[in-house]
Structure 1
């Protein structure tokens, strides 16, 4: 079990978030670059923390908070996740599922192989798993970066934590910056007729606020306060599953000294198990997904603050050149996925799905949503609905990749990882071409 979140650390992170949000609301430049408040708060924590001016009174163990929040994030996600039927996936989101699988697996493989190549040829003193930190940061965001960093740390490469979190932070800026350039090119090529520019947004959208008339309740009040506050039960479930993630991960990892089960895996699966039990016992009628979704969102924001604040600048100086090479390679490869592969798989509304995919392949799902809202403000393309359906079966693959890829690259199993990854991509293409397409046509008829 890790040490719990210290109140002082939580207070500092909270204060940084409040200040960052106020800056985001009142400084136009920050609005134009669409920087999330949590990222801005993390950058301030980095600047005024041990790596910078060292004026923030963080505790000595504040860097461990990111790992605990990652477990809470995936536990809350599991509690809010339904498993769609294969028929629903095939009819509604088969092409998006296929593209997501091909894009995510190929990005992991490309990054891992590129990292292996450049370290072998030019920087043999650097760990061969360097490329994995890039894909973890780009595709997975700060949550996955913390997981991969922790796995590498348990194997003896502690620098990976700072490197992967740096890639995640850089990916946020690349996601929006290059994403806006993609929108400009798409407009000139006729892929889209128009998009909502910053100047056309209302004041609330620019500042990242919800108009008072459009604000919605955070959760349903499913229990009588005479008995217990509904939020207390939802929070209790998140905490219980998070604790379970550590206990079960430690237990499963005890069977072999070379097997290390990440807590995010057991947290996500534990949350899904609780959800299935609640559905079977009809208790799900008294649970609110909105509460779990906000719990995962809150965990993500605080995770970003702690994660960025704990980056070691001195470590990055030793890896700067190979990190630049990896970032450039990752951007070019992801552009190829979005602009060449996407139109050949996604079919109708391919660009809307593609620009959303660019967002989460380089930054986070939130960045993908931000770009999607610019080109499809009324959400007529139903991209988010399809993504929600495709997410669960796709997330199972992500769990395996995130858990096993660092081990494979660290222990010199590059060719085995490449062979398994390419075989899986071929299988996905077969399913998409001969199963999903046929099912979709039958449903249409």
Structure 2
């Protein structure tokens, strides 16, 4: 592909994002659903792509749009390559600019949150693999690795689904990437729609601590706009632009984190080839992005030790991540193959329905029993993440706790330090497919491993952290009884 085609593809993504933002501002339905502009833009690009616009034009005798839709085959080729690249940028910046907390503080707040998050993710593997082994493999002749699609698409999201494209190819199931991206789209929409519905239910039933039925979201907030006093700096200038633009500095740090991750991955692959590749291969299938996150953590350790001038700004890192994630989502959705979804529609719907029911049920019945306090505000974050990635969880937490009065945000953030390196695109997510297809491990042993993880998470959440909730509820009752006597 030519440089002009690459440039045109990037420019078109920018135009689509602006058009999508206008749709969000003008169309009330998208505001009520809190649809991100990247999802709206991805939907527009999908409608104008080869599977819809191209086929519609072919029906009227115009075949020139069959290959690439309105945008052309070259642009679609560029878009299809972007998610696998951009996801490493997103993951590399997860912990940059954020001082790593003391272990005691993080463990106290993150313990119940981590137990609940691990319950959701390991449960998705258990349910998905059981469904695959009992129905999808014998009835639909699909590979057992389809059982991993729920966690890959829901918790991992569009970036992880697209980033595992090479892994699906090496596993002999290239259709898996389209199914995973479709799962990510369904999960994101379900996370937003069901999350809003649950918040309304929680307010009416007085399950929320901060939000009440009188609270209203302004029209500007629904449109995704910041006005008046709510506007603020999106990032800090930590170096003078005359020496180096602050954005360039922070992009360079993310680049170093990605390169560290590449060195780690290359080293692991070399060790594997030298020692045990003839028996089992795992790192040959592992993509770059979870190791880029490890690179970011290692770089942040050095920053904590040597950055005396505090030149790394977490908000600037978030701007780079946010830009990359928007471009990633819209390009992943634009190149989604609807034909693959149509050919596997029933298995796809079974997996999506099973995953959604599990997350909703866990939120309603397990979160109140696992969280020591503020179960709704804390649980809704993991609910959103387990259906539609971290950003969805943060959006839902922002709605129920707009002024950050509960421990939901710090608990969720500390939990991510342990959770993200393994699930939602981490090492477990990356290794799931090679382990499931490996003749030395296989689907059933991997299912057993996840079932053990689920049992351990349930035990810690219900019988260790759950007791804190009971103890906290008993203390006020004892104090009240003493006062009365």
Q: Report the TM-score, using the length of structure 2 for normalisation.
A: 0.83
| 2:287 matched residue in structure 1 | 262
| 2:18 matched residue in structure 1 | 18
Which of 309, 315, 322 lines up with 1:290 in the alignment?
315
2:43 aligned with 1:43: yes
**Residues 432, 322 of structure 1: CA spacing in aligned structure 2 closer, same or farther, 3 A cutoff?**
closer
Within 5 Å, give how 1:340-359 maps onto structure 2.
340-359=365-384
| 1:87 matched residue in structure 2 | 104
Moved over 6 A (4+): 196-199, 433-442
Within 5 Å, give how 1:164-313 maps onto structure 2.
164-192=180-208, 200-246=216-262, 248-254=264-270, 255-256=272-273, 258-259=281-282, 260=284, 261-283=286-308, 285-313=310-338
Aligned mates of 2:407, 2:51 — CA distance in 1: 43
Q: 1:187: how far off?
A: 4.2
Within 5 Å, give how 1:389-408 maps onto structure 2.
389-398=414-423, 399-408=426-435
Greater RCO (Cα-Cα under 8 Å, separation 6 or more): 1
The answer to whether the 8 A contact 1:112-1:130 is kept is: yes
Aligned mates of 2:103, 2:82 — CA distance in 1: 37
Q: Deviations over 1:283-321 (max 9, x none)?
A: 561111111112111111111011111111111111101
| 1:383 matched residue in structure 2 | 408
Aligned mates of 1:320, 1:198 — CA distance in 2: 42
Q: Deviations over 1:53-101 (max 9, x none)?
A: 2111415343111100011111122424544333112322321122112
3-state SS in 1 of match to 2:225: coil
**Residues 374, 112 of structure 1: CA spacing in aligned structure 2 closer, same or farther, 3 A cutoff?**
same
2:147 aligned with 1:120: no
2:131 aligned with 1:110: no
| 2:437 matched residue in structure 1 | 410
Which of 54, 74, 82 lines up with 2:91 in the alignment?
74
Q: Deviations over 1:332-379 (max 9, x none)?
A: 111221111111111311122222222111112222233333333333
RMSD over aligned CA atoms reads 2.9
Aligned mates of 1:284, 1:116 — CA distance in 2: 55
Count of aligned positions: 440
**Larger CA Rg, structure 1 vs 2:** 2
The answer to whether the 8 A contact 2:97-2:314 is kept is: yes
**Residues 227, 134 of structure 1: CA spacing in aligned structure 2 closer, same or farther, 3 A cutoff?**
same
| 2:171 matched residue in structure 1 | 155
The answer to whether the 8 A contact 1:148-1:402 is kept is: no
**Residues 87, 231 of structure 1: CA spacing in aligned structure 2 closer, same or farther, 3 A cutoff?**
same
3-state SS in 2 of match to 1:287: coil
Q: 1:194: how far off?
A: 8.8
3-state SS in 2 of match to 1:23: helix
Tell me, which stretches of 5 or more residues in structure 2 are unaligned?
A: 54-68, 476-485
2:117 aligned with 1:100: yes
